[in-house]
Amino acid sequence: MKRKTNLFYVDGPDSKFITFSNYTEALTGNFLSTDTKLFPDKFLCLKIYNINSNTKPLFIKYLVRYYENKLASLRDYCITLNELEERNLLPLSYLLEAILQVCDCNYDNINKRYTYALNKGKIEGTENFTKFDTIDGYQDNIENFITYMGDITEQDYNGTYTDTICSINANNYYIGKIINNKTLGETVKTYTESEFADSLHGWNNGDIYFDEYRDITPLYDDTNIVNNFGTYNYNTYLSKIECKQISNSTEAIEFNIIIPLFSLANINTKYNNTTLSTNNDILLSNTSTDSGELCGRFNVPLGIWINSCDDTQGESFISLKMDSEMNTYPAWSLLIASQFKPFPYSLDKKISNESQNGIMTAYPTFAETLSKINDVLDKFSTLNSQILNINNKVTLLEHQINEISTVNNISKLDYKILHLTNNVKDEINEFKKQLYGYIDNITWSNKYKNNN
């Protein structure tokens, strides 16, 4: 079964950050591997002019037509050749080439630097790409394209949610310079479609559920119109990204695109001693097929975040300017949240969340919030159980108290009746005595009168 070219939303909130198939392929291929771990570790900031509400949808569709279609095609071809795709594919290099191919490179005489702007005509074009060795203006070293390089902070909460935070720290400020070889090398490996496809790889136009992609055609590195062939190159024109640390800079950090990168590593030291590189330079082509730092495993694009303005013209940059009085840059971060749902989930499971010990209070992130909501729901369940238990105890206690009160009341009532009976008897006896006294007096009086 053929892979299908990954399709992206071109508008709305889901188009703000798009996830490449590199990430989903890595998750699928390594999900059952207990020793292989996926680490989001770096991110690149790019500054590209002419990204707005008019060109952004075209740019996203272009990435589908060229970048995602190329990845799907080359991955399937690796399976055909029974080769490991990670030893052949260069995902980051393909992405940077794809972006550079549709950008006009201009020299700014005022600021003495190169600038890069999306060319709407190139994005919509269907002709062959112009090679890097013949592009006017693409020098050996492509500078001012990557305006910031930083490290990703990953926060994991209870194994349920994870946050990927691209945080810009001007105290550790690096920019990137792309080394352009302007050649594909002596041995060029290619993949050619047996028939020039009118639809994206793995799709039939009638089966595509996005209206935006039903009538588009894929873009290739080279096309043969006569034979109706389309060709993709495994090789790349780019060699590496050299990192340069910036110190005592007063210039603003500006960007409108962020590309987070991830790496795959075997953490089983018994069978593998390869570790994540601490070198800031990023390879864009494999120096050897036996290298531990294959470009298909290290510094792989996870996705792309695009900041576009609502206007149909111009662009919108994130600009971090130094405060001259404080002599520092403002903090800025991009949060990419992922949610994982382990099964089964038990309310009886004791969870200890110590994440706050290692995270600044400046990051009350989405994943942490969801985790706290989970804790609150667990507390509600616990409180409900405790309230029910207390209610049962209160009911039992009330019943016992009622029984005790009834016995005491009967005893008191018996005592009162007995006391009342005695009082009545005493009163009757006293009344009889008084009555007899009166009678005796009356009788004596009559006798006395009679005697007289």
Rounded Cα distance between 441 and 446, Å, is 9
C-alpha dist (Å) from residue 43 to 54, 60, 112, 297: 26, 19, 26, 15
Contacts of 347 (CB under 8 A, 6+ apart): 378, 381
The confidence score (pLDDT) of residue 411 equals: 73
Section 367-383 average pLDDT = 78
Answer yes or no: is pLDDT of 381 > 90. Answer: no
Specify the residue for token string 């060109």: 55
Going by pLDDT thresholds of 50, 70 and 90, the confidence category of residue 365 is low
Q: Which amino acid is at 147?
A: T
Ranges 16-25, 70-79, 274-283, 342-351: which has the least confidence? 342-351
Query: For the segment 386-397, what is each residue's pLDDT rounded down to a tens digit?
Result: 888 888 888 888
Query: For the segment 396-442, what is each residue's pLDDT rounded down to a tens digit?
Result: 888 877 776 566 666 777 777 777 787 778 778 777 777 776 666 65
**170 C-beta neighbours (distance < 10 Å), count:** 17
The confidence score (pLDDT) of residue 154 equals: 74
Which residue in 84, 95, 207 sits closest to 146, CA to CA? 95
Which phi and psi angles does 268 have, rounded to 5°? -85, 100
| CA dihedral over 400, 405, 410, 412, signed as positive or negative | positive
Q: 304 pairs with which residues across the strands?
A: 18
Q: What is the average pLDDT score of the chain? A: 79
Ranges 28-37, 96-105, 226-235, most confident: 96-105
What's the pTM?
A: 0.75
C-alpha dist (Å) from residue 83 to 21, 289, 291, 338: 19, 11, 16, 31
Answer yes or no: is pLDDT of 362 > 50. Answer: no
